[in-house]
Amino acid sequence: MSSRVKELETSRTVSQATSRGTLFVVSSPSGGGKGTIIRHVLQVVAVENLSYSVSYTTRAPRQGEVDGREYFFVNRETFEEMVAAGEFLEWACVHGNLYGTAKNQVIEETNAGSDIILEVDVQGAASVRQLLMDSVSIFILPPSYEVLKQRLIARGTDSPEELAVRLRNAPDELKQYSAFDYVIINDEVERASAQLASIIYAARARCMRQESLVLEVIEKFKSNSIIES
């Protein structure tokens, strides 16, 4: 076997080991609109081969939310049992409620080559970064304090005390933007969603993601050139 063939064999093995799906971590302050943008990308922009990681939470469902769609709603005891069993990729206490990402779904889908989008708070995003996974992080920035406040009020799901906590915590959450790979200003949902879709497509065009396909093309070029020579 020639050294060049050995090199291609080695490259193919490496590409197979790294041609996994990417975890897209989307975060924002509470009320920043990350959920709306994600739904728009999944339903309207319809990015193919992209799924949504449904997190677990101990908070009560909001009006219109469905168990298993927005979140898996569990009690605190069940959540803590899952933590003890090591079932979460990451978990955090946010505004007094527990939130966690199931490990199995993320690992199985990315290993199969599918991309998965994860909606988390800034604490969850920081935990994912520490895992050294193939991930891309995106911070959704509300255009102003006034807009963020109006969105939270319009949502109508928080008591005055809860609303005050979310607004009080927002400035500290905003300071985390520089730890992310990308920042999207959510001043208009269609434009912000298009930006998120563009980031996903750009990540898929990275050399690491396409190496196996590139090697196949190179092999075809090589075979054709030998036949024609």
Q: Is the pLDDT reported for residue 43 higher than 60? A: yes
pLDDT for res 12: 38
The predicted model gives 100-116 an average pLDDT of 89
SS (H, E, C) the chain: CCHHHHHHHHHHHHHHHHCCCCEEEEECCCCCCHHHHHHHHHHHHCCCCEEEECEEECCCCCCCCCECCCEEECCHHHHHHHHHCCCEEEEEEECCEEEEEEHHHHHHHHHCCCEEEEEECHHHHHHHHCCCCCEEEEEEECCCHHHHHHHHHHHCCCCHHHHHHHHHHHHHHHHHHHHCCEEEECCCHHHHHHHHHHHHHHHHCCHHHHHHHHHHHHHHHHHHHHHHC
The model's pLDDT over 120-160, given as tens digits with 9 standing for 90+, comes to: 989 889 988 888 678 999 999 999 999 999 999 988 888 88
The predicted model gives 205-223 an average pLDDT of 80
pLDDT for res 124: 87
Residue of higher predicted confidence among 226 and 47: 47
Percentage, residues of the chain above pLDDT 70: 89
pLDDT for res 191: 96
Q: Is the pLDDT reported for residue 13 higher than 70? A: no
What structural domains and CATH numbers belong to the chain?
A: 3-53+114-228 (3.40.50.300)
pTM: 0.80
The model's pLDDT over 64-106, given as tens digits with 9 standing for 90+, comes to: 899 998 899 999 999 999 999 999 999 989 888 999 999 988 9
pLDDT for res 227: 64
